[in-house]
């Protein structure tokens, strides 16, 4: 077997380095792309979660307001001596038309 000259050995070493460098670039580029996609997905998920939380808070506020109105209505109804006596006053207080 023939021995390699110094320039041939250097060329082989350089070729190995170039192959390693090319392999690293080929690996890093898709990884960067994957990181970018995951970041966008993560941002979208966080945005949806934020919207759901805001909607939930609005619904809770509406529920609380409805419960408060119902409690007022029941309280006023409980003060009535007869069912016919204060219906119009209650409906007016609640903003309802008779």
Cα 40 → chain centroid: 12
Residue 91's contacts (CB-CB under 8 Å, 6 or more residues apart) are 97, 98
Give the single-character DSSP code of 86. Answer: S
Q: What is the 3-state secondary structure (H, E, C) of 18-56?
A: HHHHHHHHHHHHHHHHHHHHHHHHHHHHHHHHHHHHHHH
Rounded to the nearest integer, the mean pLDDT of the chain is 78
Segment 63-93, tens digit of pLDDT: 999 999 888 888 877 776 655 555 666 666 6
pLDDT band at residue 98, thresholds of 50, 70 and 90? very low
Per-residue confidence band for 58, with pLDDT thresholds at 50, 70 and 90: very high
Rounded to an integer, the average pLDDT of 25-49 is 83
pLDDT confidence of residue 89: 60
DSSP state of 80: -
pLDDT at 11: 72
Other C-beta atoms within 10 Å of 51: how many? 10
The total number of residues shown for the chain amounts to: 98
Q: Span 26-47, mean pLDDT?
A: 83
Q: Which residues contact 92 (CB under 8 A, 6 or more apart)?
A: 98
Q: Residue 34 has which token pair?
A: 């994957």
Question: Given this model, what pLDDT does residue 86 score?
Answer: 58
pLDDT, residue 22, reads: 78
């Amino acid at each position: 077997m023939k021995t390699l000259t110094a320039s041939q050995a250097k060329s082989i070493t350089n070729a190995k380095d170039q192959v390693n460098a090319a392999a690293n670039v080929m690996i890093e580029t898709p990884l960067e792309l994957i990181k970018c996609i995951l970041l966008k997905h993560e941002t979208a998920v966080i945005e949806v979660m934020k919207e759901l939380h805001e909607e939930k808070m609005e619904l809770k506020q509406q529920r609380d307001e409805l419960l408060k109105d119902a409690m007022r209505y029941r309280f006023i109804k409980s003060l009535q001596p007869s069912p016919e006596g204060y219906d119009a006053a209650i409906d007016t207080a609640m903003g309802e038309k008779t």
